[in-house]
């Protein structure tokens, strides 16, 4: 019997179904129809001579053979990517230096940049996160070829990718009396969200105190969820365990926050990465 030749495209479709938890989400992420994804999984099962998914109500769960294949599929695809990158290393197209605001979504950005690197193995990608004011200064000095920053006005030097209203976020069921200091959790002093939230409280005559400072989004939201304090983030930052509290507690209205893009138009790879950012659903946190 001839040894089956497993297509890497079929393996990528298989992993998409597993990682996206379903055929519909996998189809959306791969920009394919659901029927195409189903056909490719069926073809993979025929090539391997094994059933990879079993029905369980409305869902499809991995069989024992499917669970075994997950690890091998990831290793095989990673090895292929490494081989392509190694073969292309002799023809490197240079390095692109990217600066990204800490407020840009941490969940979207790594996946987006990883996809860009896979498509451009000859490009060395260097990414640095920081606060928007620092990134703007760095761009002017020539430290970066492309930056993604946040601003409250939306009228800066860059191309605006989108905007979103800021909001007061606290733990579910949070209660507070205006006679007490409002406990605040935030990033460091350089954070625009911190400055605008404290400024709005001062203007409204609302007492406050800083109880928690974090350098990471996950750490900040964990503190809020546990009830240490409230914070100001874009509305999209609302996760299970926290809620919008501004209107209910009578906290001051907050402005919009805008995501902006600046890049060196004379650098081809910077133009390509800029287009990747435009097409992405690039929110802020």
- Give the tokens for residue 58: 């409305």
CATH class, range 8-89: mainly alpha
The pLDDT value given to residue 154 = 67
User: What is the per-residue pLDDT for 89?
Assistant: 52
- Nearest alpha carbon to residue 254 among 275, 237, 276, 271: 237
- The pLDDT of residue 199 is 94
Taking the domain 163-255, which CATH number applies? Answer: 3.40.190.10
What pLDDT is recorded for position 83? 76
Count other Cβ atoms within 10 Å, centred on residue 42: 13
In this prediction, residue 91 carries a pLDDT of 47
Its CATH class, for the domain covering 92-157+258-279, is alpha beta
Indicate if 92-157+258-279 has the same CATH topology as 8-89: no
- Answer whether 98's CB lies under 8 Å from 143's CB: no
Residue with tokens 């926290």: 242
Distances (CA, A) of 88 to 121, 123, 137, 230: 7, 9, 34, 49
208-211 own/partner pairs: CB under 8 Å, 24+ apart: 208/181, 208/182, 208/183, 208/184, 209/181, 209/182, 209/183, 209/184, 210/184, 210/185, 210/186, 211/183, 211/184, 211/185
The first and second tokens of residue 55, run together, are 């029905």
**Spans of all domains in the chain:** 8-89, 92-157+258-279, 163-255
Neighbours of 138 (CB within 10 A): 16
Regions in the chain scoring below 70 on pLDDT: 1-3, 85-93, 105-108, 154-156, 281-285
For the chain, give the mean pLDDT.
87
Per-residue model confidence (pLDDT) at position 104: 77
pLDDT at res. 155: 63
pLDDT score for 60: 84
């Amino acid at each position: 019997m001839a040894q089956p030749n497993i297509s890497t495209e079929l393996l990528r479709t298989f992993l998409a179904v597993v990682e996206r938890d379903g055929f519909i989400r996998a189809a959306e992420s791969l920009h394919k129809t659901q029927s195409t994804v189903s056909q490719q999984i069926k073809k993979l099962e025929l090539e391997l001579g094994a059933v990879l998914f079993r029905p369980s109500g409305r869902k499809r769960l991995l069989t024992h053979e499917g669970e075994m294949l997950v690890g091998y599929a990831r290793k095989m695809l990673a090895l292929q990517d490494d081989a392509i990158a190694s073969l292309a290393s002799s023809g490197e197209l240079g390095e692109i230096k990217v600066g990204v605001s800490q407020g840009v979504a941490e969940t979207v950005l790594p996946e987006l940049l990883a996809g860009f690197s896979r498509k451009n193995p000859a490009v060395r990608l260097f990414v640095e996160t920081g606060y928007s004011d620092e990134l703007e200064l760095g761009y002017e000095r020539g430290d970066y070829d492309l930056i993604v920053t946040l601003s409250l006005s939306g009228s800066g030097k860059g191309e605006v990718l989108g905007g979103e209203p800021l909001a007061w976020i606290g733990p579910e069921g949070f209660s507070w009396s205006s006679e007490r200091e409002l406990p605040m959790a935030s990033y460091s002093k350089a954070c625009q969200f911190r400055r605008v939230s404290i400024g709005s409280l001062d203007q409204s005559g609302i007492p406050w105190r800083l109880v928690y400072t974090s350098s990471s989004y996950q750490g900040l939201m964990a503190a809020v969820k546990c009830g240490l304090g409230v914070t100001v983030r874009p509305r999209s930052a609302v996760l299970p365990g926290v809620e919008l509290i501004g209107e209910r507690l009578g906290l001051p209205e907050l402005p919009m926050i805008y995501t902006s893009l600046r890049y060196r138009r004379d650098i081809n790879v910077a133009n390509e990465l800029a287009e990747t950012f435009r097409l992405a659903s690039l929110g802020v946190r």
